[in-house]
Chains A and B, each alone.
Chain A
Amino acid sequence: MSFITRGFSGCSRERDERLPPGQTLVQDFPVLSAGPTPEVDTAEWEFTIRTESSVHRWNWDEFTSLAIDDVDTDIHCVTHWSKLGTSWRGVSLDTLFEQVETEQEYVMAHSYGGYTTNVPLDELLDGKAWVAFEFDGEPLEPEHGGPARLLVPHLYFWKSAKWVRGLVMMEQDEPGFWEQNGYHLHGDPWTEERYW
């Protein structure tokens, strides 16, 4: 029954070859949220990587003393917006995994507030992912995932878990929060892996 509403164009939708299929450009930074915004004090903050044999921990000071990368990248949200040339600072997952021994190939990211998302380990290494704590030269705001969020820009942005608190290695790939509820297990924007 749907018909075009006279005079309605919705948000502006520009085209650009840096945009994956089905995406449109935005200048602002929409906030997507599945729950209340956790307020996490950096004094309490902790990041862990849990493997089959051990747990690696960093507090805020230890974490921000690691090698820090400047990252300029495009981000693509499954809700059809993309943002080009965003700038972040954070710690590469390569740096974090230097000290980690594991045979397991899959990762579940866990966040303050309970959110989870799954990513294969090889999609996090080789300069493809960071734990970011600055956006656009400023500390990452809580509504955008601060103090720190996962940044996996080559996958849809729901994989870049806000308020990340740790990674748990897994033997097999298992679905995280949105992946259990309709979203794609992998989430490549260039092949439009949006849903099951």
Chain B
Amino acid sequence: MQHVDGNALAGPLAEFFSFDLTTAIARCSGCGAVGELARTMVYRSGAGTVVRCSECDQVLATLVETADRAWIGLSGISAIEVPRG
């Protein structure tokens, strides 16, 4: 199965965040790479969405959704930089 770009997170994350998180900059807690979430690698399947660092493959985040609940895991992100308007 082929991954897509972090751009594809815009729709799922818009359900939970009030701004487009894909332009926010995250730091990988594994290798320290810093970049926009839009630049990450996203593996989507029926089970959930797995976001990986494009430098070191570490799992940055997961998203599991059901009709009435969602789980957002951020185990591999040490910080997210959010621009303030």
Residues of A within 8 A of B32 (CB): none
Could you say which of A26-34, A93-101, A130-138 contacts chain B?
A26-34
Question: A114: CB under 8 A from chain B?
Answer: yes
Question: A158: CB under 8 A from chain B?
Answer: yes
Residues of A within 8 A of B69 (CB): 182, 195
With contacts A180-B75, A181-B73 taken as known, whether A34 is within 8 angstroms of B64 at the C-beta atoms is no
Question: B71: CB under 8 A from chain A?
Answer: yes
Say how far B50's CB is from chain A's closest CB, in angstroms. 4
Residues of A within 8 A of B71 (CB): 181-182, 195-196
Contact of A77 among B46, B48, B57 (CB under 8 A): B46
Question: A79: CB under 8 A from chain B?
Answer: yes
Measured between alpha carbons, how far is A35 from B44 in the docked complex, in Å? 9
The majority secondary structure among interface residues of chain B is: strand
- Give the B interface residue count (CB, 8 A): 19
A interface bracket (residues with beta carbon within 8 Å of B): 20 to 34
Residues of A within 8 A of B73 (CB): 180-182
Which residues does A use to contact B, with CB under 8 Å?
30-37, 77-80, 114, 143, 158, 177-178, 180-183, 194-196
Which residues does B use to contact A, with CB under 8 Å?
1, 3, 43, 45-48, 50, 52, 57, 59, 62, 64, 66, 69-71, 73, 75
